[in-house]
Chain A
């Protein structure tokens, strides 16, 4: 077709697009996992791998992991749906602020979320499955609100109106028209929530207590407390298998639910609430969500101020002073977090961006496999990753354990799937006719890429960068293994403060959580500002 294009350079680019992410993944994901498995299964003593699998405790853990994930997903959708509807149908003042604010809980570290719920749940509910489900819903509401709401806002309202002129009442319109059209967005949001709930660590650890173990907490338990490497390895494999199956199932489901049809721009779809009833719906939905999300966060702030019987800023002042809980001052932890998160963001954007371009350009099965592979770190346990790093990279020639870049690398692994998921839909959404038009106007292929693909992708990449930054800021499971004692990150510092007795330590933990919240909120807000074209689903 195009004889002027240098075939070698095209091939070289494709090699880079697939090669760099694959190499990164192989070395920093597959290698440590394989090492865990090798050592785990090879270690003598203890039970045989098979007996771990058939153990009734394991079955119970697996059962609880699955049902709490399913129930958390259902609860999250239930809680988020009214707000998604309002965001998808109405224009109102502060709409983008709402979109930014719901994201805050999602990027908060799980430790903070767990803390927030300890602070507000009534005594009887503080620990147990109900607390876990509520916390998961709090944490994941943003996923459903944003993914579904954004998609909803692009569905042509006239399609539903057409159903009305054909005699379909509101409920039938919802069931027969809106729901099927929303299905792709709903299923992908549900898949994300399911995966997060399935592999959730901090929340289950703190709110579940010893009675409620999931695979993830059990891995931590076996590896760190019981020192049964073999059991940890077997459980890791079980979890990875479950996650892989879930990823596979969702990609198939998404392909089946995908509906070709032109989406409209939000501007044409959204309208102001006019009747009393409509205004009431908007207010009630947003108000309910605000209470659900705001209460725990407000409680965090209150706790950070509660020192010595009254409310004051003592905990915040103490943040600049050395403490017995850490080998650094808490403020240094803030600084560490920012530095690490910046590094992780750069890595995630480069690796994830390269992968996204490769994925968007083809729909062959090998590309889909590549795509699925990149999603795995999202589901693999962060604890496993951190632990894998510790036992793998601890001797020459790969003695990186105390290398300053090892923390950002581990954090980037978790952020890469987000970068891919945000950038790919945007690239795929580029109307092929735009490229054709550019070509007909005389742009050679490379130029088409630069003039059309890149400018559109740049905005998506900026959004992805913001997310990667926030996620890295809050990453806990892997970082807790890897951060050197004299260079703690914020979540690690919070965890250390929590582990010590005393009112001031607790208040400092809450104060750091507030700091983390603010830093995260600011970065999310800045991302919102950049988002001119809302093509990705996040």
Chain B
């Protein structure tokens, strides 16, 4: 339905977006995951029509958008730094897109109330946006973009400045909303958990390029390269392949062993062990048992061949 084709954007000779091609199906949510400066915002601005690509094009429902100005695209965008209208109150911000479509005042009022309720800001209608906290502003930005029911919704780190609890709640709300109204969305984040939780597919970006696009399972099962594997937390790279930490089996005793535990770090239900092998190599392992080796313990390490992922 939405297709970005071979799009490239350069700023003063530096390439911010490098030959990006991305398909988003009707009702699909694609999350874009990448580190800071990787070109995520630039990609969204190209889709919204705010940034003209130096090469490539954007196609929506079979129609080339090159000559369609932003205000006729029906694409909503939640800006990374909100870009709220400081000359209007909260309700005025949320109502803006509805007014642009000349909806009747009563319908606008209802929709504004619904949207504010959705983002947990009921009763904030008359507040000046300048007096809102960072998180509240972010939720107003979200409500404003959602209100007119855009054909495609672009979200640029919309939960960036929220606390953990609110973030989890809104993440659930968003997931439900995306499912309910079958919205087509591109959701930008640098948070792996968010990307994997929300996306039907995840598009991983690095230095302006899409390194991999796939379902969360597919990406987790077969990362495209060593860097991505590392980014995903798969740090055992040897001879062009990745060893999943759960495939590194660690036993205490049983002969002389072939390595020494350097660190044991509890992460919720699992413990991450860092083991230095006698061969000089360092491996990470995950154990789920309550009993686990301590740093300094000599251990023997084996690798389950099923947990070895060949990198392309």
Which of A's residues lie within 8 Å of B, judged by CB?
Answer: 156, 158-159, 161-170, 172-173, 176-177, 180-181, 259-261, 274
Contacts and interface: CB of A to CB of B under 8 A. Distances in A.
B97 interface: yes
The winner among A167, A169, A180 for most chain B CB atoms within 10 A is A167
B164 interface: no
A166 B98 CA distance: 8
B87 interface: yes
Given A161-B70, A162-B79, A261-B130, A167 B86 contact: no
Contacts of B96: 163, 166, 168, 176
B83 A156 contact: yes
Contacts of B101: 167
Interface in B48-106: 48-50, 52, 69-77, 79, 81, 83-87, 96-97, 100-101
B148 interface: yes
Contacts of A169: 69, 71-72
Nearest to A155: B86
B86 to A, nearest CB: 3
A349 to B, nearest CB: 34
B71 A164 contact: yes
A167 B100 contact: yes
Interface residues of B, number: 30
B116 interface: no
Give the top 5 A-B pairs by smallest Cβ distance, nearest first.
Answer: A261-B86, A166-B97, A167-B100, A164-B70, A260-B130
Contacts of A168: 71, 96, 100
B100 A259 contact: no
Contacts of A274: 52
Given A158-B81, A172-B100, A260-B130, A165 B86 contact: no
Contacts of B77: 162, 165
Tell me if A's interface is mostly helix, strand, loop or mixed: helix
B102 to A, nearest CB: 10
B34 to A, nearest CB: 21
A156 B71 CA distance: 18
Contacts of B206: none
Nearest to A166: B97
Given A172-B100, A260-B130, A167 B83 contact: no
Interface string B36-50: 000000000000111
Contacts of B75: 165
Given A167-B148, A260-B128, A261-B130, A161 B86 contact: no
A159 to B, nearest CB: 5
B145 interface: yes
A181 B86 contact: yes
A6 B180 CA distance: 66
Contact of A164 (B52, B69, B81, B84): B69
Given A162-B79, A167-B101, 19 more contacts: A158-B79, A162-B83, A162-B84, A162-B144, A163-B71, A163-B96, A164-B70, A165-B70, A165-B73, A165-B75, A166-B96, A166-B100, A167-B71, A167-B72, A169-B71, A169-B72, A170-B69, A260-B86, A261-B130
A241 B236 CA distance: 83
Nearest to B75: A165
A449 B78 CA distance: 40
B2 to A, nearest CB: 15
A166 B85 CA distance: 12
A167 B72 CA distance: 6
Contacts of A158: 79, 81, 83
Contacts of A261: 86-87, 130
A158 B128 CA distance: 19
The winner among B79, B128, B145 for most chain A CB atoms within 10 A is B79
Given A167-B97, A168-B100, A159 B85 contact: yes
B74 to A, nearest CB: 8
B85 A177 contact: yes
Contacts of A177: 85, 87
A146 to B, nearest CB: 22
A165 B48 contact: yes
Nearest to A274: B52
9 contacts: A159-B83, A163-B85, A164-B69, A165-B77, A166-B96, A166-B148, A168-B71, A176-B96, A177-B87
